[in-house]
Amino acid sequence: MATITFLGAAQEVTGSCHLLESPAIGRVLLDCGMHQGGDAVERIQDETFAFDPVSIDAVLLSHAHLDHCGMLPKLYHEGFRGDIVCTRATAELLDVMLHDSVGLYLRDLERTNIRNARRGRPEIEAVFDMDDVEGVLGLCRGHAFGERVDLGPAGVVVFHDAGHILGSSIVEVIVNEQSQQKTLVFSGDLGKRDSVLMNEPTLLKKADVVLMESTYGDREHRDEESSLHQLRDILSETWRRGGSVMIPAFAVGRTQDVLFHLGCLHQQGELDNWQVFLDSPMAIAVTRVYDRWLELLDSDEVRQLSEAHRSSLETFLPTLNLAISTEESMAINRIKGGAIIIAGSGMCTGGRIRHHFKQRIWDDRNTIVFTGYQAQGTLGRILVDGAKRVKLFDEDYVIKCQIETLSGLSAHAGQGGLLSWMASFQPQPRAVLVHGEPRAQDVLREKLWEEQGLAVEVPARGQSIVY
């Protein structure tokens, strides 16, 4: 018998982590992600594992977003030495993501300890460091989509394209126990069917158990074309006001989609004289990883690019300026209007975007454009929910800039996409919803029952099921 214990992203969106136990494969984690929201140092210090990391035989990683991989350095620090199995593109992105994430954490921790010293408080020890990142990368094993990879004494894992970000995968785990074959499918994060750079998520046919994400189980997105029109209108109106546009962008996936859309506007002669700034060393590094894989993405939009533009998102948008150093980032502050500033982090929990907010959030000429999901407790969620004031760097700011959301640029499938993906399984599997807030999961559960006659489970954190 195999057991799945839901240890994160259970009735919540971030912190993806599920423990799969079976004599056929041993003890295997599906993802090892961090929770997001609140103070980063406090949040990471509070993260604990409900298992002994030394006892884990392998980690199957769906993709390289931090809410799916961010706790790998802690796992290594506490003794894990098994294989980390993922796609090749995910392995390449993991290098960038973990170095940046841990670097930011260590810098934030250093600032926190300076403040604590001034206040007579004890020093906080680091939960993990760069040595742990190097240890994680040394355990990483990248594979191609569709490749059968041996797992444990009697198991196999196969990665299928999830269409969410570069390298993102649907994880299929096949175990053989007592002459019986059982298949578990973990959706990871499923992409939208009309995403500009990604292929459509792979439709699988057979599974005994399916763990499916439900982030947008209660709503649909606008299509990409409508979002491009909306972006054009936002830019036009902000340009008329003499303002600038700030785009909090996730370094992997969303940033590259935004650059592609801005490139389309530029190629059509509709970008006016906007100066575009990518103000995120991590997003710059990730974009260059995308460039190396761009021809392999094979989406309709990529195939339609000319050969010259297909080689690089940077050449597709020649007005793009890359801000790598702190000095280059600060220099953007001297531009009073006509700047499109793409900066991390996507949920505004840290990174350079908060510094740009400090300079511009109080000016009604400016606009903030959100391009993806904002988790509860994050600054991004507070702004989207309509706050009138916000605290940045221990100072209060009145929010006067315009707040817009481009829902069509989400990298997640909407309700219709989730329903269609689940409907591909015949016969119907045992279905479990993960990676979603309770409201979204309740709506999706009702839809699955009404339209497909499928009864689904919504486990709480710490709950287990046997199959």
> Letter for the amino acid at 397?
Y
Domain ranges in the chain with CATH number 3.40.50.10890: 224-409
**From edge to edge, which strands make up the β-sheet containing 140-143?**
140-143, 83-87, 58-60, 26-30, 17-22, 3-8, 464-466
Torsions phi, psi of 70, nearest 5?
-65, -20
Q: What is the pLDDT of residue 314?
A: 80
Q: What is the pLDDT of residue 409?
A: 80
Alpha-carbon separation of residue 385 from 284, 376, 380, 450 (angstroms) = 29, 10, 9, 31
Q: Kindly report whether the peptide bond that precedes residue 427 is cis, defined as omega within 30 degrees of 0.
A: yes
Alpha-carbon separation of residue 262 from 197, 274, 275, 314, 340 (angstroms) = 14, 10, 11, 11, 10
Q: What is the pLDDT of residue 179?
A: 84
Question: DSSP letters of 26-80?
Answer: EEEEE--PPP-SS-HHHHHHH---SS-GGG--EEE----SHHHHTTHHHHHHTT-
Q: What is the pLDDT of residue 195?
A: 83
Residues in the chain, pLDDT under 70: 295-311
Q: What is the pLDDT of residues 230-281, one digit of tens each?
A: 999 999 999 999 999 999 988 898 899 899 899 989 988 999 899 999 999 9
Q: Is 161 exposed, middle or buried (0-12, 13-18, 19+ CB in 10 A)?
A: buried
Tokens for 199, please give them.
């292929």
Angstrom distance (rounded) from CA 244 to CA 336: 7
Question: Of the CATH numbers 3.40.50.10890, 3.30.710.10, 3.40.50.300, 1.20.1250.20, which one belongs to the domain with range 224-409?
Answer: 3.40.50.10890
Contact 336, 213 (CB under 8 A): no
Q: What is the pLDDT of residue 434?
A: 98
Q: What is the pLDDT of residue 36?
A: 85
Question: DSSP letters of 172-217?
Answer: EEEEEETTEEEEEEE--SPPPTT-SSSPPPPPP---SEEEEE-TTT
Question: DSSP letters of 128-163?
Answer: --HHHHHHHHHHEEEE-TT-EEEETTTEEEEEEE-S
Q: What is the DSSP letter of 388?
A: S
Angstrom distance (rounded) from CA 302 to CA 311: 10
Q: What is the DSSP letter of 275?
A: E
Q: Is 167 exposed, middle or buried (0-12, 13-18, 19+ CB in 10 A)?
A: buried
**CATH architecture of the domain with residue range 3-219+411-466:** 4-Layer Sandwich (3.60)
Q: What is the pLDDT of residues 103-145, one digit of tens each?
A: 989 999 999 999 999 999 999 999 999 999 999 999 999 999 9
Contact 162, 191 (CB under 8 A): yes
Contact 94, 282 (CB under 8 A): no
Contact 202, 161 (CB under 8 A): yes
Q: What is the pLDDT of residue 224?
A: 78
